[in-house]
Structure 1
Amino acid sequence: MRASTRAIPVRRIANRPGLFFAILSAATMAMVLVSAAFSPALAQDFRFTSFQIEGNQRVDDQTILGFARIPPGQALSAGDLNEAFRRVSNSGLFDEVEFTPRGNTLQITVVELPTISFVNFEGNRRISDDAIREVVQTTAGRVLSPSQVDADAVAIAELYRQRGRFAAEVTPRIIPRGSNRVDLAFEIREGNVVEIERLSFVGNRAFSDNRLRRVLDTKQAGLFRVLVQRDTFVEDRINLDRELLRDFYLSRGYVDFRINSVTSEMARERDGFFITFNISEGLQYRVGNVSVASEIDGIDLAPYEQQVRLRSGVVFAPSVIEANVRRLERVATLEGRRFVRVEPRLTRNNRNQTVDVELTLVEGERIVIERIDIQGNTTTLDRVVRRQFDSAEGDPLNPREIREAAERIRALGFFSDVQVEPRQGSADDLAVVDVDVEEQPTGSLGFGISYGVGVGVGFAINFEEANFLGRGQNIAVAFSTIPGSREIGLNFTEPALLDRDLRYTFGLNYRSTRDFNEDFDTRTATLRNALSFPVSEFGRLEGRFEVRSDRVTGADPADTSPRIILDQDMGRVNSFSLGYTYTLDTRGSGYDPTRGYILQLSQDFGVTSGSRRFLRTTARAGYEQQVLNEEVTLRADLTAGALVMSGGDTRITERFFLDGRMRGFELRGTGPRDLGANNRDALGGVRYAVAQFEAEFPLGLPEEYGITGGVFMDVGSVWGLDNSGAAVDLGGSDGLNLRASAGVSLFWDTPIGPLRFDFSRALRKEDYDRTQNFDLSIVTRF
């Protein structure tokens, strides 16, 4: 009885995955044929009192007998002996196995499989050796297992499939080295990336293919197909796209939306994928009647009704319902009703396409959180994860709060995988919340390039650690330079001071300019401490303390405005200020995903050297909305500011300019200006107001190109200049003289950064203003 896993003794074997299994099958067939040839002999019983083992070098006799499991002196049938033979052959340790009965002695002859001296990968350029080793189980020093080698070849091919290289081929090659040792090489033919050539939809009526493609994480291959990493077919990404598409429709009131199927077809040339989402949109529903009810006796519904922020006629969306459930449960907690839950009960009215919502107070299960177990975090401290929970040990188990905590943990960006699951604790009324996380790198070193028509090419380098010392703190150091200006900054952020929703920020910044669109130099150093906290669902308040030191140098009295010379004569000026900023922002996080607004008010009260006192106030009101089936985005933004100084005059480093606030004008190209100076210096103003209006829309180009168009109009002015006591000829430019500009924009979202081309024309200006009809801006990091 004999079997061998080696087909032929050759010095070099080159196989595709699966050949080793073919060899094993051939060996098994040979064993069957041998058994059939000696069937008369095998019909008798065997009884062995001794065993003789030959050929083994590394594997000892007892190990081989352990695989055979043949009791000495016990009668064996031919079938029993055959099973013993199979056990030894299938141990994965031997290339050949032979059983030879010699009376009461069983001779077992083996040829051991060789030991692997070295595992190498050849032909891989797109994926490193280290990345491939993570999916390969065969390692140097182990016994060669043909089946495992085949499995490793399949795993390598799958790794390439995940990178979009579906044509990759992997061939294992065995090279004998003598002394029963071999080298193993995986020859890899990577092939080309198989890109997604088309993403299409069937069944969509409310939204165009272009709009739905913007929802998906997967993208079509476009102009920058070499740089884009999301235009290759990855099954996990398609699953994510399913969820993104579903969330998109549900948030817009399509309660019956479903994805019937997702089909992926490879082109005949195997160089592209065609993916089709077959969907059923259903009808859009809006909120009908809204009411609050209770199944618990003795509850006053008035405080709960006051917290409802759901109105009839708005688009029905699960996120809006969840937000109102959260509000009402918070009221119950404040009243000491720890186990009260809010159950939304929905009644559909298909005739008028509305959903009546009844928020019902019910008695929840009396299950208490016994403990929260956190596993997988080797660097991140437990408290960083734990503070994402609104619940703690001893609080009632609320499934909604557990889901929200899981989302907050994922949003930290510290973990590649987060699993949060409650399970029964030590008693029926106790629960343990298991949190399993998998950490990922949180530090980054970035280099950047920027360009603007008015400032030229700039460079930047920055280092950031988002999870400093595992405490969830953020520390960043950045340096940037553009012609005429250099800046370096250090920022530290503690997002949860005292483990509460208190964000503390400390910043140091130094900036110097030299002939930066002006004929003088500046140096400014700033130290800033700020603390912010939420005051409403979408509102946040920040308080801050700031120390600032600046000076003006390099001004030539023969060419520069006397007003700037006075600022230079003041030397270094230090200022100390206390301020606050209130922000109410619903953009991207409000109840309606198609619209949002921002309201902001900021004030700083301070004193400077020389006993000057100031009050700086800025305000902003912005609104944006998507119209025409979300194909067009409309934006309106109004900003204004005022600086009030007492005990002295303002300096040029303190006043307002319209840089970045109005298109169609150069940097410091508008506002109060000394027309008597040789270079007509821009002096800035103590008040400004600007209104910006913009529309962004598709140009009919494929979505994967990332090109959209826009039109805009800006109206505003900066004005007001306190008395300097010097003979300054403002040429009538000190009053409120409105400027206006309009133009068209081209937006290009590229892998190297967003580009914006503005073609503008000043509709209203002063003779001394400096206009700019074209601007290109780009900021990228890599």
Structure 2
Amino acid sequence: MIKRQALAKAGLNQTAKAGRTAFFALCILWVGPAAIAQAVLNQIEVRGNQRIETSTVLTYAGIETGTPVTAGQVNAAKQRLLSSGLFESVEVTPARGNLIIEVQEFPTINRISIEGNRRLNDDVLEGLITSQPRRVYSPSTVITDARAITDAYFQAGRLAATVTPKIIQRSQNRVDLVFEVTEAAVIEVERIGFVGNRSYSDRRLRQALSTKQAGIFRQLIRRDTFIEDRIQFDRQVLTDFYRSRGFIDFQVLSVTPEFSRERDAFFLTFNVQEGQRFKLGEISVTTDVPGLDVAAFERVVRARTGQTYSPTRIEDTIARLERESIELGLDFIRADPVIERNNRDLTLDVAFNLTRGPRILVERIDIEGNSTTLDRVIRRQFRVVEGDPFNPREIRDSAERIRSLGFFGNSDVTTREGTAPDRVIVDVNVEEQPTGSLTLGGSYSLDEGLGFAVGLSERNFLGRGQFLNVSVAAGIDNSNSSLTFAEPNLLGRDLTGSLSLYYRSTNNFNADFNTDELGFLPSLSFPVSDNGRLELNYRLSRDTISDVSSGDPDIPGDNGSSAIIQREEGRLVTSSIGYNYTYNSQRVGLDPNTRYRFEFGQNFGGLGGDTQFVETLALAGYDTKVLNEDVGLSATLRGAALNFTEGNSRVIDRYRGRNYARGFTANGIGPRDTAATNEDALGGNYAVGLALEADFPVGLPEEYGIRGGVFYDIGSIWGLDDTAGTGGEVDDDFHLRQVIGATIFWTTPIGPLRFDFTRALEKEEYDDERTFDFRVSTRF
């Protein structure tokens, strides 16, 4: 009974206590917490600050004496002090009308160092760090710096690299900041595969990509490093590859990177959907502009029915039509392609509709970022100037021309509205890159032996867009030095002016005589069509043949050099003018699989000097890819003729060398004096040669960069002006040489090399054959 009464009394007490608590809570809600917690500050005391002034602390706190302060204002002051980044810790304590602010300052950075980095040097990494010595240490800034260094290694393919920031305490509240780098190994692309490709092999598609498989030169070639941004770029490259070949529906469905089991390499798989290849159907030009003569525009259209569809071909036609409108004095004419798809016969009918666009003018062109390159070098890449009609396509073409200069690492061309709705401002923002190069190297040739070369070139001389090159090369018994200067925009026009000085000498170089050639060669070149270019040149040279061997009468059979060369000994001055026309389909490149080139030129000697002659040179070349672009075919036909109208040609002028038939030494074919001691090669006034070649894969992994090839050459060098006094031992008749051969093409970091193994099917007894040769591979 007593126990129950005690419990009841305790319950009443609890109930009463709860009631009082609820009452006070209601009071707080009714009156408000601010009124309960307000207190008037008499004094604010700041403790712990060493470098930072007390006034600065109070400014960040934002609290003044003599005013009521709530608990919320005290907490807000603490947060403002912490967010300033100056203090490691902050305590704000009210005490009997006073406010005590106690701070612990962040230390200052005494020194910053990076340790453990070998692949990326300090200069590169320090440029990524925003923390600086003698500044306040900020943990958030240091974390950002560590992430920036990690990203740099990520871009270099070292995905497992880690960066750990550490601090070393020093006196006077200072610290040394150290970024400890663990670089890890490069993550390479071990294999690139494709799924869904039917028209082109994996090998051909890998050739188009920027990313390459890891090969035997993995330590020198870094394009086999896995970089995510490069993979995204390759998606677009692959799309452009297919669409330029008529696959308008092509898509890259996905790119799957897969880690190897050892986690040291990636396997990339491109999942593609090719679609069908389309050709051009009916091509027409239409217009809704009154009085516009469509026939005048149809004449400039180069696209033809049956050609493979290509966006480049369409863009080229649009550019031709719009240029034609400007030449006819018609402004604001736009060519809009209207494409109709015919799925049944896989063709695309294209109607180029000529319309009058909006009347918008270019107000001005603003250029920024060029500290070295002059504004006019960039401005001349635009076909428009201030006040001309605005053409978006022409602006895009100008941007491409700026990028193709090679002067800038990055260039952006954008447009924005001008001072009026019918005005446009073109903004050009560029980032310059080094344009000079120094070359030091050695060489070895079976004909020339050991040699060295030194070269200095600048593609943007003094920021004027001019080209300057100085080179010196020398071998055991020959030397070649040259100085070349070129101005690509002479007189403010598309006119290239160049000036070359050269000096060449030989000392018994594959012959029993010495030569010296000192020359001066200015030239002008300019376009005469989209693919054609004409060059006008002048040559002034002093050519010397010396130390010709006359034989030793005391040595039986030593007749010395040929009597022809003995007559040609001496020094002559040559003064000639000439022209050279070049037609090269690579300049436009509408067909990515087929390229052809034609050259024709003549030189006329006799403007002063000691010689009078007419020299004619011609070349025709064709290059294509077949069998889904896995096999390359090429054919090159070249010829030359040298006709002296007064006097005779000399051995230094005549044609020699292997350009007209491979499989022989430098002086291996052509007219020869068999009575001379060394059966001197005399060179010929006429030369012709046809070279047919095919290259193909040999089944080795593509990353080795090795392809095979076969070739067939047929050619001859013949003809002399005067063979008198040689005893009938000189053969300068026309004799064809035929050579077959096999080639190994090897793409290496030092350049594309080729190794030729040859056999002569038809030759003369005195020819100097060479069954093996290697050199840098070139075309045309």
Instruction: Output the TM-score relative to the length of structure 1.
Output: 0.92
CA contact (8 A) 1:624 1:636 kept: yes
Q: 2:707 is matched with which residue? A: 708
Q: 1:727 is matched with which residue? A: 726
Partner SS for 1:530: strand
Matches within 5 A, 1:207-356: 207-356=200-349
Matched to 1:523, the amino acid is D
Matches within 5 A, 1:662-741: 662-731=661-730, 733-741=731-739
Q: Over aligned residue pairs, what C-alpha RMSD do you find?
A: 1.7
Quote the offset at 1:607 in angstroms. 2.1
In 2, Cα distance between the equivalents of 1:269 and 1:117? 42
In 2, Cα distance between the equivalents of 1:602 and 1:174? 72
In 2, Cα distance between the equivalents of 1:195 and 1:113? 42
Quote the offset at 1:706 in angstroms. 0.8
CA contact (8 A) 1:657 1:671 kept: yes
TM-aligned CA distance change 1:730 to 1:392, over 3 Å: farther
Q: 1:452 is matched with which residue? A: 445
The answer to whether residue 182 in structure 2 is matched with residue 184 in structure 1 is no
In 2, Cα distance between the equivalents of 1:381 and 1:46? 68
TM-aligned CA distance change 1:683 to 1:368, over 3 Å: same
Partner SS for 2:673: coil
Q: 1:470 is matched with which residue? A: 463
CA contact (8 A) 1:423 1:431 kept: yes
Q: 1:424 is matched with which residue? A: 417
Show CA shifts across 1:699-739 (max 9, x none): 112221111010000000000001154325445x2111100
Quote the offset at 1:610 in angstroms. 7.1
Deviating more after overlay: 76-85 vs 51-60: 76-85
Q: 2:502 is matched with which residue? A: 509
Q: 1:11 is matched with which residue? A: none
The higher relative CO (CA closer than 8 Å, separation ≥ 6) is in 1
Show CA shifts across 1:243-302 (max 9, x none): 221211111011111222222233343311222222211111000001111110111111
Matches within 5 A, 1:252-651: 252-558=245-551, 559-568=560-569, 571-587=570-586, 589-607=588-606, 611-651=610-650
In 1, Cα distance between the equivalents of 2:401 and 2:753? 32
Matched to 2:237, the amino acid is L
Matches within 5 A, 1:78-93: 78-93=71-86
TM-aligned CA distance change 1:350 to 1:730, over 3 Å: farther
> Identical aligned pairs, as a percentage?
48
Q: Whose Rg is larger? A: 2
In 2, Cα distance between the equivalents of 1:600 and 1:678? 39
In 1, Cα distance between the equivalents of 2:453 and 2:116? 37
Q: 1:58 is matched with which residue? A: 51
CA contact (8 A) 1:451 1:779 kept: no
In 1, Cα distance between the equivalents of 2:729 and 2:680? 10
In 1, Cα distance between the equivalents of 2:268 and 2:245? 24
Matches within 5 A, 1:96-111: 96-111=89-104
In 2, Cα distance between the equivalents of 1:729 and 1:166? 76
CA contact (8 A) 1:368 1:429 kept: yes
Q: 1:69 is matched with which residue? A: 62
Partner SS for 1:726: coil
Quote the offset at 1:242 in angstroms. 2.0
Quote the offset at 1:42 in angstroms. 13
Matched to 1:625, the amino acid is T
CA contact (8 A) 1:649 1:724 kept: no
- Which of 765, 772, 777 in structure 1 is aligned with 2:763? 765
Quote the offset at 1:412 in angstroms. 0.3
In 2, Cα distance between the equivalents of 1:315 and 1:579? 39
Quote the offset at 1:156 in angstroms. 0.9
In 2, Cα distance between the equivalents of 1:375 and 1:540? 33
CA contact (8 A) 1:655 1:686 kept: yes
In 2, Cα distance between the equivalents of 1:483 and 1:741? 30
CA contact (8 A) 1:451 1:778 kept: no
Matched to 2:183, the amino acid is E
TM-aligned CA distance change 1:610 to 1:493, over 3 Å: closer
Matched to 1:634, the amino acid is L
Partner SS for 1:406: helix
In 1, Cα distance between the equivalents of 2:588 and 2:452? 33
Q: Please list every run of 5 or more consecutive structure 1 residues that lacks an aligned counterpart in the other structure.
A: 1-39
Matched to 1:639, the amino acid is R
In 2, Cα distance between the equivalents of 1:517 and 1:440? 44
Partner SS for 2:427: strand
In 1, Cα distance between the equivalents of 2:692 and 2:727? 35
In 2, Cα distance between the equivalents of 1:154 and 1:212? 35
Deviating more after overlay: 759-768 vs 156-165: 156-165
In 2, Cα distance between the equivalents of 1:263 and 1:406? 33
CA contact (8 A) 2:506 2:516 kept: yes
Quote the offset at 1:96 in angstroms. 2.3
Partner SS for 2:387: coil
In 2, Cα distance between the equivalents of 1:243 and 1:479? 42
Show CA shifts across 1:324-372 (max 9, x none): 1111111111121111111111101011100001111101111000000
In 1, Cα distance between the equivalents of 2:322 and 2:359? 15
TM-aligned CA distance change 1:645 to 1:58, over 3 Å: same
In 1, Cα distance between the equivalents of 2:441 and 2:85? 55
Deviating more after overlay: 182-191 vs 718-727: 718-727
Deviating more after overlay: 292-301 vs 41-50: 41-50
In 2, Cα distance between the equivalents of 1:767 and 1:521? 26
Matched to 1:560, the amino acid is S
Partner SS for 1:572: strand
Quote the offset at 1:608 in angstroms. 7.8
TM-aligned CA distance change 1:661 to 1:243, over 3 Å: farther
In 1, Cα distance between the equivalents of 2:386 and 2:757? 60
In 1, Cα distance between the equivalents of 2:610 and 2:82? 95
Quote the offset at 1:192 in angstroms. 1.2
Q: 1:31 is matched with which residue? A: none
CA contact (8 A) 1:588 1:596 kept: no
Show CA shifts across 1:657-712 (max 9, x none): 13333211111011100001110000000001000000011111222111101000
Q: 1:170 is matched with which residue? A: 163
Quote the offset at 1:232 in angstroms. 0.7
Partner SS for 1:587: helix
The answer to whether residue 115 in structure 2 is matched with residue 134 in structure 1 is no
